[in-house]
Chain A
Amino acid sequence: MAYLRVGGLIALAIAGALTLSTAVPPPASAADNTIVFGAALAATGANAREGALTKEGYDFWQDYVNSHGGIKVAGKAYKVNIEYADDESKPQTAALLVEKLVNEDHVNFILGPYGSANTATAAAVAERLKVPMVEGNGAAASIFNQGYKYTFAVLAPGYKYLQGILEMAQMLKPQPKTVAISTANDTFSVEVGQGAAQYAAAHGMTVVYNNKYPADTTDVSAVVSGIKAANPDIILNGGHLDEALLLQRTLKEQDVNAKIFGYSVGPDTPDYRKTLGKDANWVFGGTQWSPTAKYKGAPGFIGDSKVYAAEFNKKYGHIPEYHNAESTAACLAFQYAIEKADSLDPQKVRDALHALDVVTFYGILKFDDRGLNVYKPMAVNQIQNGNLMTVWPRGVQNAQPAFPTPAWSARS
């Protein structure tokens, strides 16, 4: 009995303490000159690898800022600290953890989780708690059609993924006129395909083939035969790495020729080039960022992609992928917004994020009313002689687009 009573008392005391701590506004962690960011990020589960890449991107920024004098707010320099919690790749867990990070760990701001699904649930919590969240790893525009005011994405939304390639195509001579689009049947890929179809139609190109296939398909020969019959100038695919490989192989096998082959996902990854060898040459890919991109970033952080890539490589032993870069960019949005707000007040920082307009090594950071970075163009990469080159947009490219793609029979 005595134990029970003691136990009960302790429980009461804990409950009391908890109520107190939630009742009191978050104590400014700023007291010890540190701005604390919270991130629910996959360390285990299906997205563990991408989660790790995201963390590298975040950590890189944290270390850079701390070793370069921190962030200045109201004349005082603050260090930054990122608190991580493992969301196990599960959307529900991400939401719970964001709530815990804010209510119990009293973080000042939230950095996004990995993936559209987890970002969507985290965004709902950030909205309810009125804490700004900037994310770099959830590109589905559907997250941003909820009327949220506290979530911002630094990446270009899904529907823009293939638009860069079409934009580039308009500038090429002889100008390609017809487009074939195939997409995997999942939310994100369908958004990619629709975006491309709308853009093509609005810019005087004809969509001669537009079709979906099951997301886990093992055979795309029907799609390829259909594309061949439509005889397009441009062949676009919105899908995943597996099908991008399968499609490119089947296109060769059925001897389908076009002036441009473009993919939303695939050409960026080393796996694509390694697997296809020289059959990967000439292929275009939409990308959020590439190490060869030539933006001139604002002061306060590394402004040059090449330097970023080199420094990153020194620290982590690999060239940064776009996952790394967009995660670092999410932190940068906070850095510039906090400095501009000159305050750690969540509302003021949110307003500063909303008004943000700054160029970084990653590209422009500027959000529309929904919090989407629709201003950032998708860069276009092309595999030329086994190397990934950035060929679009003009000010950013480090190579001219190689065009038109020769027929399969004319390739060496």
Chain B
Amino acid sequence: MQLFWQSLVNGILVGGIFAVVALGFSLVWGIMNIINLAHGSFVMLGAYTAYVLFSTWHVDPFLSLPVAFVLLYGFGYCIQRFVINFVVRAPILTTFLLTFGLSLLIVNVVLLIFHGDTKGITTQYSGTNFSIGGVTVGWVKVWTLLVALAITALMQAFLTRTKTGRAIRATAMDVDAAQLSGVRVAHLYAVVFGLGAGLAGAAGVLISLSYSLQPSMGDPFVITGFVVCVLGGLGSVQGALLGGLVYGVIEALGSQYIGTGLQDAVALVVLLIVLIFRPRGLLGKATAS
């Protein structure tokens, strides 16, 4: 029984990271209908930002989180405005190719600068933990989850309470109507893509606290983002959060009781089941098509 609770807690903790990874992915996909294959490389850039700040000036990764967010936001904004914008209404394969190419480019530039060596961030508090009823929990993972929840809440507030947020949601519902109402779509799309990249960067910082860094570290997170989006429902903040937590828990329990080698398989089977019985995802809403 203790193993069950430990696995459940493991799943929830890692689910928080999945949620933040998926949040940005979901935003871009839900609102612009772009499946951003470069999302993983943004996650990696976030992690490397934390690494550079930590190893050069000993900046605590939690403090470099806003820095990574702002840097990646700017980067994402420019990429959307000056690159992807030209093909934003093209068939989905075009944006697929473009973002895949971008991902290759970014990963290889980082490879050129930092080489392929594995790096990591070990802080004073890395590995410190506490136990409740036989379940051992690392403080870093707890803080990571709390920050992930805070980011999700902020994002939700931004989308519902601010003018830009409302414009974003309006654009997701009907681009033409939004444009007629005075929304500058090109700018708005860039903002959305920037937010997506910024969130990926923030996720990267959180990931850097627990995982090792190397240029291709982001790749698995594209799949994670994709699965969580489909699981939770596209384009909604709650969907990403719920999807992330559910995915994390399924993966943790599945790999504990069915086989660690089948970690990915178990999660993907659940995804298939959700797709069959609830194709819009757990909290799916109407989205841009």
Q: Which of A219, A228, A249 has the most CB of B within 10 A?
A: A219
Q: Is the CB of A223 closer than 8 A to any CB of chain B?
A: yes
A218-B217, A241-B212 known; 9 new pairs, CB 8 Å cut-off, are: A212-B261, A213-B255, A214-B264, A218-B211, A219-B10, A241-B118, A250-B210, A276-B122, A279-B126
Complex CA gap A214/B254 in Å reads 13
Q: Is the pair A245, B10 in contact by a Cβ cutoff of 8 Å?
A: no
Q: Is the pair B264, A254 in contact by a Cβ cutoff of 8 Å?
A: no
By a CB distance below 8 angstroms, the chain B residues around A182 are 260
The answer to whether residues A253 and B129 also contact, given A218-B211, A219-B14, A229-B2 and a CB cut-off of 8 A, is: yes
The answer to whether residues A49 and B212 also contact, given A217-B263, A225-B256, A254-B136 and a CB cut-off of 8 A, is: no
The residues of A with any CB-CB pair to B shorter than 8 Å are 49, 182, 185, 211-214, 216-219, 221-223, 225-226, 228-229, 241-242, 245-246, 249-250, 252-255, 269, 271, 275-277, 279, 408
What residue in chain B is nearest A182 (Cβ atoms)? B260
Nearest Cβ in chain B — how far from A194, in angstroms?
14
The residues of B with any CB-CB pair to A shorter than 8 Å are 2-3, 6-7, 10, 13-14, 115-120, 122, 126-127, 129, 131, 136, 138, 140-141, 207, 210-212, 214, 217, 219-221, 251-252, 255-256, 259-261, 263-264
Nearest Cβ in chain A — how far from B35, in angstroms?
20
Partner of B122, one of A214, A226, A255, A279: A279
Nearest Cβ in chain B — how far from A49, in angstroms?
7
Can you name 9 A-B pairs with beta carbons within 8 Å? A212-B260, A213-B261, A221-B13, A222-B10, A275-B118, A275-B122, A279-B122, A279-B127, A408-B127
Complex CA gap A158/B267 in Å reads 31
What residue in chain B is nearest A221 (Cβ atoms)? B10
What residue in chain B is nearest A217 (Cβ atoms)? B263
Complex CA gap A252/B120 in Å reads 15
Q: Is the pair B251, A245 in contact by a Cβ cutoff of 8 Å?
A: no
Q: Is the pair A221, B14 in contact by a Cβ cutoff of 8 Å?
A: yes
Complex CA gap A101/B58 in Å reads 52
The answer to whether residues A185 and B6 also contact, given A219-B14, A219-B251, A246-B211 and a CB cut-off of 8 A, is: no
The answer to whether residues A211 and B129 also contact, given A225-B10, A229-B3, A255-B136 and a CB cut-off of 8 A, is: no
Q: Is the pair B212, A275 in contact by a Cβ cutoff of 8 Å?
A: yes
What residue in chain A is nearest B14 (Cβ atoms)? A219
Q: Is the pair A252, B10 in contact by a Cβ cutoff of 8 Å?
A: no
Q: Is the pair A249, B210 in contact by a Cβ cutoff of 8 Å?
A: yes
Complex CA gap A246/B115 in Å reads 20
By a CB distance below 8 angstroms, the chain A residues around B7 are 222, 225
Q: Which of B119, B211, B220 has the most CB of A within 10 A?
A: B211
Q: Is the pair A226, B118 in contact by a Cβ cutoff of 8 Å?
A: no
The answer to whether residues A245 and B140 also contact, given A213-B263, A221-B10, A225-B256 and a CB cut-off of 8 A, is: no
Q: Is the pair B261, A218 in contact by a Cβ cutoff of 8 Å?
A: no
Q: Which of A221, A229, A275 has the most CB of B within 10 A?
A: A221
The answer to whether residues A225 and B220 also contact, given A214-B263, A214-B264 and a CB cut-off of 8 A, is: no
Nearest Cβ in chain A — how far from B145, in angstroms?
13
5 shortest interchain CB distances as A-B pairs: A253-B138, A275-B120, A252-B127, A222-B255, A221-B10
Nearest Cβ in chain B — how far from A382, in angstroms?
19
Q: Is the pair B252, A249 in contact by a Cβ cutoff of 8 Å?
A: no
By a CB distance below 8 angstroms, the chain B residues around A252 are 126-127, 129
Q: Is the pair B263, A254 in contact by a Cβ cutoff of 8 Å?
A: no
By a CB distance below 8 angstroms, the chain B residues around A216 are 219-220
By a CB distance below 8 angstroms, the chain B residues around A275 are 118-120, 122, 212
Complex CA gap A255/B207 in Å reads 20
What residue in chain B is nearest A49 (Cβ atoms)? B116
By a CB distance below 8 angstroms, the chain B residues around A185 are 261
Complex CA gap A408/B221 in Å reads 31
Nearest Cβ in chain A — how far from B208, in angstroms?
11
Partner of B131, one of A221, A245, A255, A276: A255
Nearest Cβ in chain A — how far from B116, in angstroms?
7
